[in-house]
Structure 1
Amino acid sequence: MSGAAAAGAGGTSGSEVPHPAVRGSAAHSIVTANACCSPRLAGNVRHGVTSERLIKSVSAAQSGRFVSCTRLPRRAADDPVKREWIKAARKAPARPVTLTDDQNHEDLGALPEPRPSSEIRRHLRATAGGRTGHDARMTLAEVWPVRRLRVTTSVLELAVPGEDELAELAMHAAAGIYDPQSRFLARSPVAGWESGPSPQAEWSFLRYYWASLADWRPSRWNLVMAVKVDGACVGVQEIGAQDFGITRTVSTGSWIARRFQRRGYGKQMRAAILHLAFAGLGADRAESAAWSTNAPSLGVSWSLGYQSNGTTIRAFDGARQEQINLVLDRQRWESGRDDIAIHGLGDEVLELMDVSAASR
């Protein structure tokens, strides 16, 4: 019988081998492993129903009688006879199946027609974007598109850190970010940095970064980016927002490893993150803050057009500290630089940041 005729008779094809209980008998029975299985029979096999019923079903037929199942139960591997059967089944050639009207369909169940290989390939393309096999696995950037986001300037790059960059930044955090000679500058936590000995300092930074991912939702997000110069991490720049779709306001924070300070990177990285905020996300307002004794941070803010937005008195490390609040609105922001570019800011990323197309 041709393959087409076998399919028309409701049969399947697959690896075949005589059942050990009736091997050599006139009624050679064949058991076929095939992806298109009788649900009823597959259930029996899965739940370990003894093989007598199966043998009885196949023994009553003349040559050409077949049973279809998805796979043999795991416990079959413990039986030497069944183990031999399984090995032979994997090596046997394929042969079409014929079922006649007088066969016991009560035991066999209805055998559906097999899905053609072309249909299977279409299914794989639909579920894996056209990839098959190992190529069907998605990358981290595809699962979490924010991972692709970068901002580049002629001097440095802001990028979402990978494992190697996180380890490098954690070591910078442990080495410290404040000049030990500056006694009047409060060592307050900022952008994942927190004063402490190693390895607590490294752990604190990593926990902060991972928490920002774990807590991310469009209504409240915080993006922590590595600052890279010539491929090496020199610090951290973060930007965050709450209900950005309504407030159109972001806040920023940053730190630079002590051995990379006083090279102009502070202003460059702030200009890059402001470009992302105003040109990329369509923000109307950017906020920041610094202690009144932190002259370098304040100098960067003043040079970029920030204005004072009042002060806040805080208690830190047992002392009274004055915090200067800063704000930069879209009208005062200058985007005259043509060397800043945003990469990877697609619709999926904008949706994760609560940014609508109309507001950009």
Structure 2
Amino acid sequence: MLIDHWPLLGLRLRTDRLELRLPTDDELADLADLAVHGVHRPDERPFLTPWTDLPPRELARRVVQWQWQTRGEWTPQRWTLQLAVFAHGRPVGVQQVSGRDFAVLREVKSASWLGLEHHGQGIGREMRAAMLHLAFAGLDAEYAVTESFADNPAPLAVSKRLGYQPDGISRDVLHGEVRVSERLRLSRRDWAASDRAAVTVDGLDACRELFGLPPAD
């Protein structure tokens, strides 16, 4: 079976409302359709990569290709896990977590998007909390980092409510203009001291080698 060769297919994160896992091909098509219907208001540009500026067919194709690309380029030294987020059995967005030389650095970086119709329901915070549980409790990370445009308050508010601390800024160019992002960092100690919702993780032991980690005791 494919899961024997790619055990990440069996990885599951669950919260009270959500399930995070790799999507099937049909579910990936649903995710692509969700992105086409909008992940932010038309007058906003909250992402550095302007993939939401693409025509609908090309945008949908990019969503599919990015899932395939991250799986195909996965190594224990550099990996990106794109977990589809499901609420009531329907895909509502994607929670991404990536690592570079994770076995040594013990640091993950996250990014995410959520279908526009699902904004404002606390889903963004809940899916990030599930990812942090995977990183700290499951993979024994020391730090989690993220960044968001300084004028994009929603993800910054999520980060700060989860205990992230300021970690400087980064400056990039988007559409010929300078965009400033706030970087934030969460330590394992601060995560452990925070008030956290319950998260369960299944199927991780079979995946540890893919993250560059030794087998579980």
**Could you tell me which residue of structure 1 aligns to residue 146 of structure 2?**
288
CA distance in 1, matches of 2:83, 2:68: 12
Quote how far apart the aligned CAs of 1:338 are: 5.8
The one of 71, 75, 86 aligned to 1:213:
71
**1:204-251: CA deviation from partner (whole Å, max 9, x where unpaired):** 111111110110011111000100001000000011101111000010
Q: Which runs of 4+ in 1 moved over 2 A?
A: 185-190, 334-339
Q: Is the 8 A contact 1:189 1:195 kept in 2?
A: no
Residue 272 (structure 1) aligned with residue 134 (structure 2): no
Q: Is the 8 A contact 1:286 1:329 kept in 2?
A: yes
Quote how far apart the aligned CAs of 1:155 are: 1.3
**1:71-125: CA deviation from partner (whole Å, max 9, x where unpaired):** xxxxxxxxxxxxxxxxxxxxxxxxxxxxxxxxxxxxxxxxxxxxxxxxxxxxxxx
**Could you tell me which residue of structure 2 aligns to residue 254 of structure 1?**
112
Q: Is the 8 A contact 2:39 2:116 kept in 1?
A: yes
**Could you say what secondary structure the match of 1:239 adopts?**
strand
Q: Is the 8 A contact 2:99 2:109 kept in 1?
A: yes
Quote how far apart the aligned CAs of 1:194 are: 3.8
Identity %: 36
Residue 165 (structure 1) aligned with residue 27 (structure 2): yes
Point out the structure with the larger strand share: 2
- Gaps in structure 2 of 5+ consecutive residues: none
Q: How does 1:130-279 map to 2 (within 5 A)?
A: 139-182=1-44, 185-189=45-49, 194-279=52-137
Higher relative contact order, chain-length normalized (CA < 8 Å, sep 6+): 2
- Residues 234, 291 of structure 1: CA spacing in aligned structure 2 closer, same or farther, 3 A cutoff? same
**Could you say what secondary structure the match of 1:237 adopts?**
strand
**AA partner of residue 180 (structure 1):** P
Residue 345 (structure 1) aligned with residue 207 (structure 2): no
**1:169-194: CA deviation from partner (whole Å, max 9, x where unpaired):** 00111122111244xx444338xx54
Q: Is the 8 A contact 2:209 2:215 kept in 1?
A: no
- Gaps in structure 1 of 5+ consecutive residues: 1-138
Residue 326 (structure 1) aligned with residue 188 (structure 2): no
Q: Is the 8 A contact 1:272 1:340 kept in 2?
A: yes
**Could you tell me which residue of structure 2 aligns to residue 61 of structure 1?**
none
CA distance in 1, matches of 2:34, 2:93: 8
- What's the TM-score once normalised by structure 2's chain length? 0.94
CA distance in 2, matches of 1:305, 1:294: 18
CA distance in 2, matches of 1:355, 1:295: 35
Between structure 1 and structure 2, the one with the greater Rg is 1
CA distance in 1, matches of 2:133, 2:47: 28
Q: How many residues align?
A: 216
**AA partner of residue 299 (structure 1):** A
**Could you say what secondary structure the match of 1:355 adopts?**
coil
